[in-house]
Every structure is written in C-alpha cells, then in structure tokens.
Amino acid sequence: MIRYSLTCDAGHQFDAWFSSGDSFDEQSEAEVIRCPVCGSAGVCKAPMAPAVLRGGRKSPESEGPPVPAAPKAPVPERQTYAFLKGLREHLKANANDVGTKFAAEARKMHNGEAEERSIYGEATVDEAKSLHEDGIPVLSFPKLPEDHN
C-alpha cells in the first residue's frame, strides 16, 4: 500500500491509499478519484517529504535519545476517516453487496432490467470508467487503511 497526499484543482488537500503508484495513475486517468470536500475529479499528487532512514546499524548504547512518536493525525484527517468509516458501515447495513457483479448489476438497474436498489461491490477501473461514460451514477469508495491490516 502507498499513501499519497493529494490536492484537487480547488486547492483542497487530502490523503488517499493506493495499492501501487500505477493504481493511482489508472484511477486518476479514469477520473474515479474525487475530492472528498468538493467532488472534483481534478486531483493530482501534492509534494511530500520523503521518509529518510539513517544508514548503518548502531549498537543500543550508541543510539541517541529515543525519537518521539509521530503526532496524532490532525483533527480534520481523523474526522474524514471517521466519516468514511461510518459511511462504509451505513452502506453495509442499507445496501446489497453484489461483489464483483457490481458493474453488470448497476447497468441492469440503469436499463430497467433489474429492480432499482442501493448496491455496493467491486468494479475494475475500466468498468467504473465505462459506467461513468454511459451516465450511470457510481461512486468510488476508498479502501481504508485498516482494511489491509
């Protein structure tokens, strides 16, 4: 997993997790990454400071004072995470999980071939892009960090 700091074209900053750098590129090209504040698909990577590791191992006696733990996430980030977690739980409680058949089921409902209802599931980037191009409303929901631990 890789975490990127992102910025939308309106200047809102947020973080998102991706399975790889290529995954970000694919989702960005398909315009499935949306700003959680304004919904803009004009999202790009923001500059990030790299994590730098010290070279060479030192014995415990020669190490300096312990490095303090990283500060807790800023309040807006924690609020966003809590909101996304709550939204996920709401979807699970109030929508049908159609798994990998999401794109097909959404298309059937849009075409009147299946009963309209709230659904969630999985779709590839290409499937999501195709649904979007055909005017079928879908929302991409990020996997939360705890989903991968």
pLDDT tens by residue, 98-139: 999 999 999 999 999 999 898 989 999 899 889 989 999 888
The confidence score (pLDDT) of residue 8 equals 86
Residue 51 maps to a domain: no
The confidence score (pLDDT) of residue 131 equals 92
The amino acid occupying position 132 is H
Buried b (16+ CB within 10 A) or exposed e, 56-92: eeeeeeeeeeeeeeeeeeeeeeeebeeeeeeebeebe
Count, residues in the chain = 149
> What's the pLDDT tens digit per position in 90-104?
888 888 999 999 999
Residue 38 maps to a domain: yes
Residue 145 maps to a domain: no
Q: How many folded domains does the chain comprise?
A: 2
The confidence score (pLDDT) of residue 97 equals 93
Domain boundary among 11, 26, 45: 45
d(CA 6, CA 98) in angstroms, rounded, equals 30
Residue 4: give the domain boundaries: 1-45
Which tokens is 136 given? 């079928």
The confidence score (pLDDT) of residue 72 equals 52
Domain boundary among 11, 28, 45: 45
In sequence order, what are the residues at sequence separation of 6 or more whose Cβ sits closer than 8 angstroms to the Cβ of residue 24?
2, 4, 16, 18, 33, 45
